Amino acid sequence: MNIAEHLPVLVIVIPLMSAVIIPLAGRANSLYSWYITVAVTFSCFLISSSLLNTVMNTGRISYWLGGWEPPWGIEYVIDYLNGFVLVVVSFILFIVSLYARKSIEMEIDEDKTTTFYSIYLLFAAGLMGIINTGDIFNLYVFIEIASLAGYALIAAGRKREALMASYNYLILGTIAATFILLGIGYLYMATGTLNMADLREKLPALYDSKVVLTAFAFFTVGLSLKLALFPLHIWLPNAYAYSPSVVGAVMAATATKVGAYAMLRIMFTVFRVDFDPEAVPVTKILLVLSSIAIIAGSVLAIAQTTIKRMLAYSSVGQIGYIVLGAALVNQTAMTGSILHILNHALMKGTLFLATGAVVYKTGIDDISGLRGMGRKMPFSMAAFTIGGLSMIGVPLTVGFVSKWYIAVGALNAGMWYFVPVILLSSLLTTVYFWRIIESIYFPRKTKDRGQGAGGRGQNTERRTQSADINTPESEIYGEAPLGMLIPTLILAGLCIFFGVAAFLPVSVAEKTAAMLLGGM
Amino acid sequence: MEAVQSAMPLYAVAVSLIAVVLIGVSGGRPNLREFWTIAASVLKFSIVASMLPAILDGKVIEYTLFTLFPGLDISFRVDALGIFFALTASSLWIITSFYSIGYVRAEKEHAQTRYFMCFAIALSATIGVAFSANLLTMFVFYEALTLCTFPLVGHKETPEAMAGARKYLTYLLGTSLAFLMFAVVLTYNVSGTLDFSPKGILAGTASNTVLAVIFVLFMAGTAKAAMMPLHSWLPAAMVAPTPVSALLHAVAVVKTGVFVVVRIVLHVFGVKLLSDTGLGTALVYYASFTIIVASTIALRQDNLKARLAYSTISQLSYVVLGVALLSPSGITGGVMHIVLHAFGKITLFFTAGAIYVATHKTKVSELNGIGKKMPFTMAAFTIAAVSMIGIPPFGGFISKWYLFMGAAEASQIPVIVVIATSTILNACYFLPVVHAAFFKDADESTVKGSPSLSGASSIKEAPVLMVAPLALTAIGVLALFFEPSVFLELARMVVSGVTGNN
Amino acid sequence: MIELIAGKYNYWIYITLMMIGFYAMIARGNLIKKIIGMNIFQTAIFLFYISVAKVKDGTAPILWDKAVIYDNPLPHVLILTAIVVSVSTTAVALALVIRIYKEYGTMEEDTILRMTENRERTGGNG
């Protein structure tokens, strides 16, 4: 038996099995559970890289689970699209797990840490499954595995608001998953198959069927909810804001990306590019929704007073970019959209990890809590700044590359009016990040009221109170521990690296886009 | 045109970035730190100057740093226009460095290390803009310049300083992200390239309407050129320490703005396209409007630096106007005005700073009789002011002369009227200062009663580290009248490059 | 018309159930009732799958002599999986509700929201 043949399934099975082992290991010493988590996520990353490498060299990989031949058996397929997403997601999972130890010690009760890592790996297994599977019912199962683990992760913190956030996410997430299940049912009814490749062959003949149309609509709505496309984003801000920093980071950087992946997968490989029913002009609806998401996410982000909430709303906007690029349906924009999956994962990961470092040191994530942090935590704050600049889309950071591709793609599609949307959101992003960058590096000498966006009395009151707890000027915080700092800096470094050596991800993304828009 | 591959432009940009690190690590030892600043500025100037012979030979120096992805490079290309601007900026950096040291020590400013670090980055960015080979590279350095000058503008960290700095950032970053980037994307979309070319890259690529839109976006995106109505960041940025105002707001930042405009006019659109479409004429009238209105506002400013700021706004549009005339003499005049105005205006800012350090006065109305106390400073002020007005034998005359010629060549009679009017306005807002300084009695202002004047008799010249630089630049203003040959030659090369084989 | 209602009664049943469940999930303020709604919602989909699997005159899909026509077994298998998922979701949801009840002392969404808002207004930072 050749191990290499089984890599597509090992990347799922390893975290799944480890999730069971961890509680046992954790009994001996809770630190073991962390070791296992890091080892497992790292091996997932290695496997993913090797899979992507194989795909780049020899093309699509098809793995028959249990040796059953598709379309009857479950097939795992790795092509450019999921090879790419797999590497991104497993890398983020690895980096965040490296970072997790100190942060989790501080934000989660000690007796729960072992369970936390177990669920973390379960979550990882779910995501890997969503990405790898070539069977739509299997997709549903993995979506639910990842989601259930996600609900638990969000509720893992000490904040009681997190419980309600998790509960609301559970209700909405279940609606979404059930919609997807219904869509699967309709597709099965119409075609009698669950295999994605097989569906792709059989569906074109049925494009006029109302059943197929309905299935498509249910998929779109369900997946939009999962990836938090405006206006179905309402579960996201609370879920990110009240969960432990590590969870916020991993959710923002991977979960929504996987949702976006699933949408691309359904829209462009199960259905084909030319499927654009007149009755449901999906791409047009998505274009409008994503534009609103881009603007609204940025505007709402400006109104926030805590960093995590701000980052959460900014995620809503950034998801808009991914969908916008995909819905423009041309090579350049699609390349941008796929790049943005990587780029947003990198920059949002950086930002959440840097924020987590502040929370670790000060215990608060109010924007005012960052005041003067530039001197106290220079490296973490440098990472935060890089992440922020990248979000704005300054050239030589990753944010610029994907925005550039999407903007040029919009022009290629003859829809110039999306360029102002992108630029306006860059401006709004500048507003909410600059506010923070300024308070990091230029703490006011005199405390004056009404700075930044916080003109309202309630905010000012809140700010001064937290400033009292914090005593920003007198108390000296050191830099975050190395275990947290290094992963943050790695991500920040990659934000620059892939912004400069953009041709590396671009070459993969271009092939992916060509695959999605052309033949398989 | 022969192209030479050389990493010299990269070194020119990088030298002050390396200095930033050295300045940073020697923050605790001011003398060593200042040594790095001076060393970097001298080195930078030498590197730039060392490229001059090759450029005068008609070559261009090219260097590609890296490729982002196919179609987009970060690359440098040194041509006549670029080195013209780089020479101006890097030579003035040396002088400003000395002046800065004198100023911050006399004023005992805080955060001096940050100050010198940001200054060095700003110069890297300026040289980067000068040597950019394409719009993307230029955009990168343009934004970098905005970001690294923000701490300089808000240096005092008082609420007013931060408000000014934020306004500065809002205008510059906002317009460039919204409009300049849009224009760059559109340019890439219609022409498929971002590389500058002496013939322009946009001719024949899109309909006139689209080109006009791109042109307007470019102009709106270059707020650093301070054309109305996007000028008000400049007076707001005057909260900065004077050396910052001097170098950045007389040379680096604002000149970067007009340099970008010149680049876009000449090397993105091209002379032929702009004259065919009539966009050049539109820009001429737009710039004329700014010239007149800004000069008029300058008349009413009592704060000396604010008056200088409005004067800068008006003078910057001279450059734009000259180039927009699209006639050989007009372009020569516009380009020459970059260096001539730089020397003149930096002298004026230096004197304003010297007066502030010596007397802590900022208002024009408080300057009566100051010429007797600070003769060198005020003599330099007079020279620069007269040069600004455009009277021989001072440098400012040269550019104004070419501008008149250019307007005549383009048969734009209204423009001649505009320049003449503006000259009168210049005289109206500069000469009263000179008059008050030398011919009015100091006691008169004591009556008006600012209490600090009890020590009026103790006022003496500012430290020598400040007076010497301003004397030098004043001499430069004179020297440029008698020996402008290098700059004129470069300006001619720019003209012959863009107007074709004639 | 009768044909449409009677002939496709299985669809009508599942749509009705689904809407009942959906309504309960969205409109009810009590967290437990929401979960009940969720169960009804999911069950509706299960019924849809099962009814789709029925073949006219089909027997149970077991290999025996009389099994000439038999029902499609695949949806049954799928729904078995989906039921497992549904049960797990319910378990997680109930666990959350228990913790919410411990923290807030209530299971009414409105009350909890009000408590959160009050906390924010008084400047607490959880």
Query: What residues of chain A lie within 8 A of the CB of C81, using their CB?
Result: 137, 141
Instruction: Please report, for chain B, the start and end positions of each structural domain, with discontinuous segments joined by +.
Output: 1-259, 278-502
**Secondary structure (DSSP) of A90-156:** HHHHHHHHHHHHHHHHHHS-GGGHHHHHHHHHHHHHHHHHHHHB-BHHHHHHHHHHHHHHHHHHHTT
Number of helices (H) and strands (E), helices first, in chain B?
22, 3
Distance, in angstroms, between A503 CA and closest chain B CA?
4
Chain C: partners with 3+ C-beta pairs within 8 Å: A
Residue A475: per-residue pLDDT: 53
Smallest Cβ–Cβ distance between C82 and the set A164, A181, A461 belongs to A181
Beta bridge partners of B195: B134
Residue A466: per-residue pLDDT: 42
What percent of chain A lies above the pLDDT cut of 90?
50
- Comparing alpha-carbon positions, the chain C residue that sits nearest to A190 is C52
* C-alpha A437, offset from chain centre: 23
Contact B376, B467 (CB under 8 A): yes
**Residue pLDDT, tens place only, A345-397:** 999 999 999 999 888 888 777 888 788 888 888 888 999 999 999 998 888 89
Extract the runs of DSSP E, i.e. beta strands, from B142-199.
Answer: none
| CB pair distance less than 8 Å for A444 and B162 | yes
Does residue A72 carry a pLDDT above 90?
no
Smallest Cβ–Cβ distance between A396 and the set B140, B181, B188 belongs to B140
pLDDT average, residue stretch B307-318: 91
Q: Which A residues 263-322 touch B at CB under 8 Å?
A: none
Distance, in angstroms, between C10 CA and closest chain A CA?
14
Chain A: partners with 3+ C-beta pairs within 8 Å: B, C
Residue A449: per-residue pLDDT: 41
What percent of chain B lies above the pLDDT cut of 70?
96
The model's confidence at residue B68, banded by pLDDT at 50, 70 and 90, is: confident
Query: What residues of chain B lie within 8 A of the CB of A438, using their CB?
Result: 162, 166
Query: What residues of chain A lie within 8 A of the CB of C48, using their CB?
Result: 182, 185
Q: Exposed/middle/buried for A57, CB within 10 Å: 0-12, 13-18, 19+?
A: exposed
The model's confidence at residue A59, banded by pLDDT at 50, 70 and 90, is: confident
Rounded (10°) angle between helices B253-263 and B135-153: 160
pLDDT average, residue stretch A137-157: 93
Does residue A451 carry a pLDDT above 50?
no
Question: How far, CA to CA in Å, does B420 sit from each of A165, B326, B348, B403?
Answer: 70, 20, 22, 11
| CB pair distance less than 8 Å for C25 and A171 | yes
Q: To the nearest 10°, the Cα dihedral for A363, A364, A365, A369?
A: -120
Tokens of B286: 């737009």
Does residue A105 carry a pLDDT above 70?
yes
Instruction: Please report, for chain A, the start and end positions of each structural domain, with discontinuous segments joined by +.
Output: 281-444+459-520
Contact B78, B128 (CB under 8 A): no
| CB pair distance less than 8 Å for A395 and B185 | no
DSSP class of residue A322 equals H
Question: Any residues with CB less than 8 A from the CB of A344 and at least 6 apart, and which?
Answer: A253, A257, A315, A318, A319, A321, A322, A402
The residue among B223, B209, B140 whose CA lies nearest residue B176 is B223
Q: Whole-angstrom Cα distance, residue A206 to residue A272?
A: 12
Query: What residues of chain C lie within 8 A of the CB of A237, using their CB?
Result: none
**Residue pLDDT, tens place only, B464-487:** 888 888 888 999 888 888 888 888
The model's confidence at residue B446, banded by pLDDT at 50, 70 and 90, is: very low
**Is chain C in touch with chain A: ≥3 Cβ pairs within 8 A?**
yes
**Residue pLDDT, tens place only, A281-298:** 888 889 999 999 999 999
3-state SS record for chain C: CHHHHHHCHHHHHHHHHHHHHHHHHHHCCEHHHHHHHHHHHHHHHHHHHHHHHCCCCCECCCCCCCCCCECCCHHHHHHHHHHHHHHHHHHHHHHHHHHHHHHHCCCEHHHHHHHHHHHHHCCCCC
Q: Would you call A73 an interface residue with chain C, using a CB distance cutoff of 8 Å? A: no
Q: Would you call B35 an interface residue with chain A, using a CB distance cutoff of 8 Å? A: no
Question: How far, CA to CA in Å, does A168 sit from each of A148, A151, A179?
Answer: 13, 9, 17
Most confident of A44-53, A102-111, A412-421, B448-457: A44-53
Smallest Cβ–Cβ distance between A167 and the set C31, C41, C45 belongs to C31
Smallest Cβ–Cβ distance between A185 and the set C52, C92, C113 belongs to C52
Q: What angle do CA A199, A186, A197 make, to 5 degrees?
A: 10
Which of A181, A195, A234, A462 to probe the C interface (max C CBs under 10 A)? A181
Residue C59: per-residue pLDDT: 80
Contact B290, B230 (CB under 8 A): no
The model's confidence at residue A97, banded by pLDDT at 50, 70 and 90, is: very high
Give the up-direction half-sphere exposure of residue B8: CA atoms within 13 A in the CB hemisphere: 22
Q: Whole-angstrom Cα distance, residue B129 to residue B260?
A: 8
The model's confidence at residue C122, banded by pLDDT at 50, 70 and 90, is: low
| CB pair distance less than 8 Å for B178 and A411 | no
Q: At which residue do the structure tokens 């300058």 appear?
A: B298
Q: Would you call A414 an interface residue with chain B, using a CB distance cutoff of 8 Å? A: no
Strands A75-78 and A61-64: antiparallel
How high does pLDDT run on average in chain A?
Answer: 86
The model's confidence at residue A456, banded by pLDDT at 50, 70 and 90, is: very low
Strands B59-69 and B2-5: parallel
**Residue pLDDT, tens place only, C64-96:** 777 778 888 888 889 999 999 999 999 999 999
Q: Whole-angstrom Cα distance, residue C91 to residue A419?
A: 46
The residue among A114, A148, A104, A151 whose CA lies nearest residue A20 is A114
Query: What residues of chain C lie within 8 A of the CB of A71, using their CB?
Result: none
Bigger pLDDT: C80 vs A519: C80
Query: What are the phi and psi torsion angles at A396 (to 5°)?
Result: 75, 5
Smallest Cβ–Cβ distance between A161 and the set C92, C121, C126 belongs to C126
Q: Whole-angstrom Cα distance, residue A427 to residue B363?
A: 36
pLDDT average, residue stretch B208-219: 91
- Comparing alpha-carbon positions, the chain C residue that sits nearest to A182 is C45
**Residue pLDDT, tens place only, B235-292:** 888 888 888 888 777 888 999 999 999 999 999 998 888 888 889 899 999 999 999 9
Q: Whole-angstrom Cα distance, residue A19 to residue A44?
A: 14
Does residue A508 carry a pLDDT above 80?
yes
| CB pair distance less than 8 Å for B70 and A503 | yes
Beta bridge partners of B78: B61
Tokens of A96: 């965040």
Give the up-direction half-sphere exposure of residue B165: CA atoms within 13 A in the CB hemisphere: 24
pLDDT average, residue stretch A77-87: 91
Reduced to 3 states (helix: H, G, I; strand: E, B; else coil), residue B203 is coil
Q: According to CATH, what is the number of the domain C2-121? A: 1.10.287.3510
A-B Cβ pairs (cutoff 8 Å, strict): 74
Q: Whole-angstrom Cα distance, residue A248 to residue A250?
A: 6
Which of A115, A133, A147, A174 to probe the C interface (max C CBs under 10 A)? A174
Beta bridge partners of B66: B74
Query: What residues of chain A lie within 8 A of the CB of B67, using their CB?
Result: 503
Q: Whole-angstrom Cα distance, residue C66 to residue A142?
A: 38
Q: Within A227-328, where are the H helices?
A: 236-242, 245-250, 256-264, 282-302, 307-327
Instruction: Please report, for chain C, the start and end positions of each structural domain, with discontinuous segments joined by +.
Output: 2-121
Contact A212, A206 (CB under 8 A): yes
Residue B458: per-residue pLDDT: 60
Q: Whole-angstrom Cα distance, residue B127 to residue B88?
A: 10
B312: left (phi over 0), alpha (psi -120 to 50) or beta: alpha
pLDDT average, residue stretch B313-338: 91
The model's confidence at residue B453, banded by pLDDT at 50, 70 and 90, is: very low
Residue A129: per-residue pLDDT: 94
Contact B162, A442 (CB under 8 A): yes
Distance, in angstroms, between A369 CA and closest chain B CA?
19
Question: Any residues with CB less than 8 A from the CB of A4 and at least 6 apart, and which?
Answer: A50
Does residue B132 carry a pLDDT above 90?
yes
Give the up-direction half-sphere exposure of residue B278: CA atoms within 13 A in the CB hemisphere: 2
H/E stretch holding B60: strand B59-69
Does residue A276 carry a pLDDT above 80?
no
| CB pair distance less than 8 Å for A174 and C82 | no
Which of A160, A364, A458, A462 to probe the C interface (max C CBs under 10 A)? A160
Contact A290, A229 (CB under 8 A): yes
Strands B59-69 and A61-64: unpaired
Which of B169, B177, B209, B216 to probe the A interface (max A CBs under 10 A)? B177
H/E stretch holding A75: strand A75-78
Q: Exposed/middle/buried for A45, CB within 10 Å: 0-12, 13-18, 19+?
A: buried
Give the up-direction half-sphere exposure of residue A515: CA atoms within 13 A in the CB hemisphere: 23
Residues of chain C in Cβ contact (below 8 Å) with chain A = 22, 25, 31, 34, 38, 41-42, 45, 48-49, 52, 74-75, 78, 81-82, 85, 88-89, 92-93, 96-97, 99-100, 103-104, 112-113, 116, 120-121, 123, 125-126
Q: Which sign does the torsion angle of CA B369, B370, B372, B377 carry?
A: negative
The residue among B72, B300, B301, B310 whose CA lies nearest residue B193 is B72
DSSP class of residue C108 equals B
**Residue pLDDT, tens place only, C30-54:** 999 999 999 999 999 999 998 888 8
Query: What residues of chain A lie within 8 A of the CB of C34, using their CB?
Result: 171
Q: Whole-angstrom Cα distance, residue A204 to residue A275?
A: 8
pLDDT average, residue stretch B220-231: 87
Does residue C8 carry a pLDDT above 90?
no
Tokens of B214: 């791109």
| CB pair distance less than 8 Å for A393 and B174 | no
Does residue A173 carry a pLDDT above 80?
yes
The model's confidence at residue A450, banded by pLDDT at 50, 70 and 90, is: very low
Contact A171, C41 (CB under 8 A): no
Tokens of C11: 């669809």
Query: What residues of chain A lie within 8 A of the CB of B70, using their CB?
Result: 503, 506
Q: Whole-angstrom Cα distance, residue B456 to residue A314?
A: 57
Q: Which A residues 391-410 touch B at CB under 8 Å?
A: 392-396, 401, 404, 407-408
User: So what's the ipTM on this one?
Assistant: 0.91
Question: Any residues with CB less than 8 A from the CB of C24 and at least 6 apart, and which?
Answer: C33, C34, C36, C37, C38, C40, C41
CB atoms within 10 A of CB A67: 7
Contact A257, A85 (CB under 8 A): yes
Q: To the nearest 10°, the Cα dihedral for B238, B241, B246, B250?
A: -30
Q: Within A363-481, where are the H helices?
A: 373-376, 378-392, 398-412, 418-441, 457-470
Which of C85, C97, C122 to probe the A interface (max A CBs under 10 A)? C85
